[in-house]
């Protein structure tokens, strides 16, 4: 296929991308979607195994999945993620987790002790932030942490490519909660595990949550140079 690449320097894309949690209903044109995913296929992986399995839900398929997610959430059905994960962090990681939540809740007008407000914010995930599309990223269930690195690298490659095309996104670990519904929607057998979702589409600038900005640690807290 002929790819019409937008010209966005990679550093600009990295530094200006941010998570978007409120979208306009307009779908991304099919040709653009194909180009974006074609480019993201260039992500590197261990021995070029390309372990990512990507399932993109749009239109009625996406609406049905969203409704099923919400039904389960509202009935208090416990999640059954395919892979073990950490949800509550400790120490410095906990502090960053709290700072991130506070930044979002502040923009959404949710006070710290506003439990219904916080539940509403969680529910927004399962409403898919009103995105017209959601991509589910998975891999063979038998692959462990090392191979999931490849899927993580793919995820960022995909989000940066989208960003270069003017498409906003949000990585969503919350989309690990009910993987059986994703498998059902795409006719997958049990061998594929779902690692995360990425909601995407065109940003709705009027959504309060989209004013959220996060910061990063000073370099010395993450990177060590020697010699
Ligand atoms: C693997 C992964 C899972 C995430 N899961 C969620 C999620 O379920 N819900 C959400 O609102 N944001 C989620 N995020 C977005 C992070 O909160 C966000 O990337 C972080 O706060 C940094 O903000 P920025 O993306 O705007 O730079 C996730 C990000 C990553 C990388």
Rounded Cα gap, residues 173 and 137, in angstroms:
10
Alpha carbons 119 and 145: distance in angstroms, whole number = 30
pLDDT at 64: 98
Find the CATH number of the domain harbouring 138. 3.40.109.10
What atom of ligand 1 comes closest to residue 212's alpha carbon? Answer: 26
2 found inside a domain: no
The CA distances from residue 78 to 72, 81, 179, 181, in Å, are 8, 10, 12, 13
Q: Is residue 108 domain-resident? A: no
Query: Each residue of 128-164: pLDDT tens digit?
Result: 999 999 999 999 999 999 999 999 999 999 999 999 9
Average per-residue pLDDT for the chain: 96
Compute the distance from residue 127 Cα to the ligand 1 centre, in Å. Answer: 16
Q: Output the residue whose Cα is nearest ligand 1's atom 18.
A: 19
Residue with the smallest CA separation from ligand 1 atom 30 is 171
59-74 and 179-186 helices, crossing angle to 10°: 150
Instruction: Name which of 3-12, 93-102, 113-122, 169-178 the model is least confident about.
Output: 3-12
Give the per-residue pLDDT at 6: 83
Most informative mutation of 128, 145, 173 for ligand 1 (most atoms within 8 A of CB): 173
Residues 67-90 have pLDDT tens digits of: 999 999 999 999 999 999 888 899
Pick the atom of ligand 1 nearest to 124's CA. Answer: 11
The number of domains in the chain is 1
Distance from the alpha carbon of residue 142 to the mean position of ligand 1, in angstroms = 25
For atom 29 of ligand 1, which residue has the closest CA? 171
Among 21, 98, 172, residue to substitute to test ligand 1 (most atoms within 8 Å of Cβ): 172
Domain assignment present for residue 35? The answer is yes
Given this model, what pLDDT does residue 179 score?
Answer: 98
Where are the alpha helices (H) located in the chain, listed in sequence order? Answer: 10-16, 30-40, 59-74, 91-108, 115-126, 145-164, 179-186
**Residue 142 covered by a domain:** yes
Q: What is the pTM of this model?
A: 0.97
pLDDT bin (cut points 50, 70, 90) of residue 2 is confident
Report CA(19)–ligand 1 centroid distance (Å).
Answer: 6
Q: Are 107 and 211 in contact (CB under 8 A)?
A: yes
Q: Is the pLDDT confidence value at 1 over 80?
A: no
The answer to the question of residue 56 being in a domain is yes
What does residue 133 show for φ and ψ, rounded to 5 degrees? -140, 150
Residue 17 CB coordination number (10 Å): 16
pLDDT bracket for residue 174 (50, 70, 90)? very high
Give the model confidence (pLDDT) of 94-137 as tens digits: 999 999 999 999 999 999 899 999 999 999 999 999 999 999 99
**Cα(151)–Cα(147) distance, integer angstroms:** 7
What integer pLDDT is reported at residue 87 of this predicted model? Answer: 83
Name the residue of 17, 19, 128 whose CB sits within 8 Å of the most ligand 1 atoms, as the mutation to test its pocket.
19
Neighbours of 91 (CB within 10 A): 7
In a domain, 226, yes or no: no
| Residue pLDDT, tens place only, 16-74 | 999 999 999 999 999 999 999 999 999 999 999 999 999 999 999 999 999 999 999 99
Q: Pocket residues for ligand 1 (CB within 6 Å)?
A: 18-19, 21, 100, 125, 170-174, 196, 214
- Torsion angle of the four alpha carbons 103, 107, 110, 111, in this order, in degrees rounded to the nearest 10: 60
Residue 135 lies in domain: 10-83+127-213
């Amino acid at each position: 296929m002929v790819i019409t690449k937008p010209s966005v320097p990679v550093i600009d894309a990295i530094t200006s991308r941010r998570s978007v949690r409120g979208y306009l209903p307009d779908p991304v044109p099919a040709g653009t979607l194909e180009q974006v995913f074609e480019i993201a296929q260039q992500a590197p992986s261990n021995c070029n195994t390309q372990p990512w399995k990507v399932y993109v839900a749009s239109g009625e398929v996406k609406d049905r999945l969203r409704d099923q997610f919400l039904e389960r959430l509202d009935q208090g059905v416990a999640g059954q993620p395919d892979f073990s994960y950490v949800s509550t962090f400790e120490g410095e990681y906990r502090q960053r987790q709290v700072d991130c939540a506070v930044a979002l809740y502040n923009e959404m007008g949710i006070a710290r002790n506003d439990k219904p407000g916080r539940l509403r914010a969680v529910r927004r995930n399962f409403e898919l932030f009103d995105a017209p599309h959601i991509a589910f990223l998975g891999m063979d269930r038998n692959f462990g942490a090392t191979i999931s690195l490849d899927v993580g690298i793919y995820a960022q490659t995909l989000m940066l490519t989208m960003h270069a095309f003017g498409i906003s996104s949000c990585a969503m670990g919350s989309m690990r909660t009910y993987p059986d519904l994703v498998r059902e929607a795409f006719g997958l057998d049990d061998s594929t595990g779902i690692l995360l979702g990425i909601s995407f589409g065109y940003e709705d600038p009027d959504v309060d949550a989209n004013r959220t900005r996060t910061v990063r640690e000073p370099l010395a807290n993450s990177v060590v140079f020697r010699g």
